[in-house]
Chain A
Amino acid sequence: GQQVMQIPQYQHVQEGEDFTTYCNSSTTLSNIQWYKQRPGGHPVFLIQLVKSGEVKKQKRLTFQFGEAKKNSSLHITATQTTDVGTYFCARRGMNRDDKIIFGKGTRLHILP
């Protein structure tokens, strides 16, 4: 009930190609967060989406929140070697006792 499903689990792209990872939930989300974890590192917060249909950009990264607030995507344009890592989406509620539940992540590997 509280899980968020991420696809794909792994993605290999040629440097310069685009990359997209998807996050899906069976229930309506109050918000969705995205994190990046470099190999050997810890997760680092990228962004939070709250509004239905919201689109936010950070340089080459575009984040979308679905109209029904049940799915989200992260798109990277023209990947670079610095984009290597695992990208996680996470759901959390606004209530006091709500947890932060992470998807299993999409591991991005860049081929030079």
Chain B
Amino acid sequence: NAGVTQTPKFRVLKTGQSMTLLCAQDMNHEYMYWYRQDPGMGLRLIHYSVGEGTTAKGEVPDGYNVSRLKKQNFLLGLESAAPSQTSVYFCASTPGGGTEAFFGQGTRLTVV
């Protein structure tokens, strides 16, 4: 049982490039989340999904897009990367409301 898997684990982008981060969970969870973690800022919610085909904005959605075409996958896209998007990105999933979140191992993204 892999749990929550994030791909890739590391990436370096040049300013203006685009990329997609993939989150996959094998626990049949309804809810999925994308967070970014920066020093001193904790975990900030970017976008989230409460089910297949749904997405919603979190605390810091600007510059990111997401899609949840399949229940097990939640994709985070950066259309035109900026240095301010240098961060560690975490994906999480939960079975439903009021339950614990399971996190992936994180993706360390550097934009130069």
Contact of B98 among A35, A92, A104, A105 (CB under 8 A): A92
Known pairs A42-B90, A42-B103, A100-B101; A105 contacts B45 (CB<8 A) = no
Q: Are A96 and B97 in contact (CB under 8 A)?
A: yes
Q: A98 — which chain B residues lie within 8 A by C-beta? A: 97
A22 contacts partner chain B, Cβ-Cβ < 8 Å: no
User: How many residues belonging to B are interface residues under a CB distance threshold of 8 Å?
Assistant: 26
Q: Are A99 and B33 in contact (CB under 8 A)?
A: yes
A12-20, A43-51, A54-62, A72-80 - the one binding chain B: A43-51
User: How many residues belonging to A are interface residues under a CB distance threshold of 8 Å?
Assistant: 28
B92 contacts partner chain A, Cβ-Cβ < 8 Å: yes
Known pairs A9-B40, A42-B105, A104-B40; A95 contacts B97 (CB<8 A) = yes
Interface residues in A18-73 by Cβ distance below 8 A to B read 30-31, 33, 35, 42-45, 48, 50
Interface residues in B70-112 by Cβ distance below 8 A to A read 90, 92, 94, 97-106
Q: Are B35 and A102 in contact (CB under 8 A)?
A: yes
Most B C-beta atoms less than 10 A away, residue of A6, A9, A100, A103: A100
Q: Are A100 and B41 in contact (CB under 8 A)?
A: no
Q: Are B98 and A31 in contact (CB under 8 A)?
A: yes
Q: Are B42 and A102 in contact (CB under 8 A)?
A: yes
Instruction: Please list the residues of chain B having a beta carbon within 8 angstroms of any beta carbon in chain A.
Output: 33, 35, 40-45, 48, 50, 56, 58-59, 90, 92, 94, 97-106
